[in-house]
Structures are given as structure tokens and as C-alpha cells.
Amino acid sequence: MAPSGRGSSEVVITFVDSAARAAATPLKIKIDYGQPSLRGRPLLTDSLVPYDKPWRTGANALTTLTSDTDLVLGGRDLPKGSYAFYTLPGRSGWKLIVQKNPGPTPTGAPAPYDSANDIARLNLKAATSASPLETFTMWLVPSRDPGPPHGQLIMQWGTIVQSIDWAKK
């Protein structure tokens, strides 16, 4: 099994009518994250993803969300910009911790979790997948429903699936 890699998911928001499209730059929403693999290990353990402790939501570098537009994530307004994500796994439900992006430390390593950087703690929706994933994966899935651009941010590792709604503000 190869070492952890990097993954990303991106949504590009374009405008439907040709006059607006010609005059506007498409807006982007992007998630960048490390992709650890299970490699035969159980997922929810003190050494991999512990309950009730902030998890970096991926491997190696911080997981980041960068948006060219103001968003609503899980009911919380997020101005355009860059944010770091942590996850707080719990036996009765998981939370997504959104932080100001502290950037790397002087050594280049990701900054350790610091609750002073928290902007929001948002409830995630849990599901179980019949098709387990060996490698942690995140998707920004746009909806095809009419109205302002919106969709879901979905995370899966093993059979555990967590999601949260997003929308362009």
C-alpha cells in the first residue's frame, strides 16, 4: 500500500445565461485533504481516529476549504476565503470544526489543533455505506435542483459516511 496521498474536490459555479457568463469569472469552491488508508486497521481507535478528540480530517497537512464566494455551510455563514477543517467523532454524532486557516508552522508541519481558531462546530449527518472505502475520500457534490448553487460535502472512510449541506450565499 502506498503512503498517504493528497485529494481534492472542486465545484465550479458558472452562470446560466450567456450574457452573465461572458461577463463573469466562474466561482470555485475547493476542498484539499490528505488521504490516509486503513491498511487493515480499525478506523475508530485512539491511534487512528479517536472518539471525542479533534481529528485533523485526513493525513499530513491540514484539510482546507477555499471558496471564491460567500457560503452557508451547515446553516453557518462563511465569508469567501480559506478555512481549516477538523472533525470531532463522537459515539452519538460527529461534528465538523471549521477554523481560521492557521497555515503551516515554521517547520512546514501543520499547526496543532487550537480551539482559539474555531469559527464553528457543525453537526454532521451520519450514514453507513455497504461499500467500504479503503482510502479516506471527500466530495463536494453539487445539487441539480433549481435555485442558488448548493449541494453536500460528503466524507467517507471504511463504511462511515458523514455529510453536511453547503450553499452559495
Please provide the DSSP assignment of 139-167 as one string: EEEE--SSSSSEEEEEEEEEEEEEEEEEE
Instruction: Please determine, for residue 56, whether its predicted confidence score (pLDDT) is greater than 70.
Output: yes
> Looking at residues 39-49, what average pLDDT do you find?
89
CA 47/CA 68 separation, integer angstroms? 36
Tell me the pLDDT tens digit for each residue of 2-14.
567 788 888 887 7
**Per-domain boundaries in the chain:** 5-168
CA 168/CA 71 separation, integer angstroms? 5
Model pTM score = 0.88
Mean per-residue pLDDT of the chain: 89
Instruction: Please determine, for residue 124, whether its predicted confidence score (pLDDT) is greater than 90.
Output: yes
